[in-house]
Structure 1
């Protein structure tokens, strides 16, 4: 969906401009309505800290409806860039994003959103500290589930205890869905963000990270951090290991008709994208202006030497690379932010230069167009 100044959204913001922000936060004199060019979205404190350190955000706007832990939105001096922390998990993310989008304090109709968080990484495609930019976000936990002990004797060919709604095995596309299972993002804008991120030197992490990378067989895992085009999975369940990794990788491929290449994990992205889809449908944001970036803090699978000891490996803090992942959030994301600011009038204002050439949106084609994934119809759940 491309925004064209819908009358409804204009009326909304004309009415909103009558509500001074000072009624919510009286520390400074703010514009009647804040219209950021870029909004950086983090999910928890340690993702936000590198951004707050990298940029000067003197303005803090207390905004009703945000997470009780993170009630303030931070903006730079010109209010051209703002940062929000949603709180962790799908419920917090959807609640905070919806509250932001419906706030009369902000006009987000032309804003670019950079979802900037850390996640686990598949060693086939990433290493600790790598930076991933997604075209697809797939929600993997909306399925039936049974414990290992209760399927291994009756369904011996199953590789996990998950299977889709309305079907009877793990290899059949779900008969009914909730609509949040798959989102496709603007590939042109994603590619521009990747192109910009590839111009910077990434933080390579610690000496221990270097040692841990060499425990893996895959070239990507053993290499230094890089910028990667690949796709993200969302699950409130923090899964790890080869069994679930293999299953969810196959599930993501099935849900996108073989198109998605899963490489990173998240707990919030599909929730944030659902909120942005609804807001875009209402003319309050532009879904074509959303970028999802995840830096890799840890591997999703143990190295071969620890394959029979996954729990202990996962619980060992020496196995991760969080410091590089946090550091690389602004390192890799800042070039996109600066590009938007520096080329606002000539490139980004209209959105035409990096307008999507692919389908964007959800399974239900809420924003129009025809998705190249999903089915023509679904049963009612």
Structure 2
């Protein structure tokens, strides 16, 4: 459930444009009333926090990806949104929170819808994707947090069933426009891979690398099983590591090896597979289209994924047995949700607190200016 593009129908935006209504209400009442508002100057948004799912209510129960942002960032102004989940905003800080729904189709369409929404000025906004994921145990432990520079899509490809692949092929899964797995003569990516601004990723990582993350006996018990993986046995920590987005919740050693190789292949050896989720290439695809119109700036996008589970079983356990076990309700869920907020909010708060600087100049640009001096 927790692992996680092309053009969409113009009718989606038409339907949204006709049906969307602005409202401003406090989120705490059980039955909030939607209050219509007259047309006004678009609201400047400083940061959009992009989450993918919520478990139940937006506050007061088991927390999914959105709840801690809703509660702790005081996102109490509600805007009706003709998608999976309404939008919530803090007018004092300029932070807007959204829940896209899980999967590439949901994330891509929700982000496009928001980007075209006339109620908001997103031209200077930073976008923080903050969600949970499966992590490669060779790279990090559950409860850890990874900032991605590369987003690689795991769905756009050719595939032949493994029982029918030619002799000598390691897999039946290979890049479109090629003639064999990992063909060096592949075409340039057209949705298979995106690179975020590396300087912004580095800035976010350096700002948060020493953030203390929660540990617990439940996490310790789970990670103790990974006897051959030193990084999987460490207490949770912040790192840099890249994301593979695929709609299928995959699991196991062989698929983990595929993920590592697939990320290396599309990034020319520069990427380092760490997290497996579903949505991030769809999210970024929409933002890249919107950026061409000036409505958003794709150089202000950050992706933070936190480990709720491992992408492969511990030694001595089969992939299917590990996948289907409950693991005490996903051992890393609470810790990963907390990590996403604790690490991500440090970035959000820094941007908001220094908006006089970061509105017109990204941290990446400021870093470049400092080096030039």
TM-score range with shorter-chain normalisation?
Answer: 0.7 to 0.9
Q: Which residue of 2 aligns with 1:280?
A: 291
Greater shift, 32-41 or 107-116, is seen at: 32-41
Could you tell me the TM-score, scaled by structure 2's length? 0.82
Distance (whole Å) between structure 1 residues aligned to residue 36 and residue 214 of structure 2: 36
Asked if 1:115 corresponds to 2:125, the answer is no
1:95-147 per-position Cα deviation (integer Å, ceiling 9, x unaligned):
00000000101110000110011111011111101100001000022112223
For the Cα contact (< 8 Å) 2:46–2:94, is it kept in 1? yes
Q: Which residue of 2 aligns with 1:201?
A: 212
Cα shift at 1:235? 0.4
Which aligned pairs between 1:1-381 and structure 2 lie closer than 5 A? Answer: 21=22, 25-26=34-35, 32-45=41-54, 46-64=64-82, 66-67=83-84, 70=85, 72-78=86-92, 80-151=94-165, 154-155=166-167, 157-173=168-184, 175-176=186-187, 179-204=190-215, 206-216=216-226, 217-306=228-317, 309-318=318-327, 320-345=331-356, 347-355=357-365
1:313-351 per-position Cα deviation (integer Å, ceiling 9, x unaligned):
111121641111111111111110110011110x31112
Aligned length, in residue pairs: 330
Give 5+ residue unaligned stretches, structure 2: 1-16, 25-32, 55-63, 369-373
Distance (whole Å) between structure 1 residues aligned to residue 292 and residue 244 of structure 2: 24
Could you tell me the TM-score, scaled by structure 1's length? 0.81
Report the aligned-residue RMSD: 2.5
Other structure's SS at 1:354 match = helix
Distance (whole Å) between structure 2 residues aligned to residue 293 and residue 302 of structure 1: 23
For the Cα contact (< 8 Å) 1:159–1:247, is it kept in 2? no
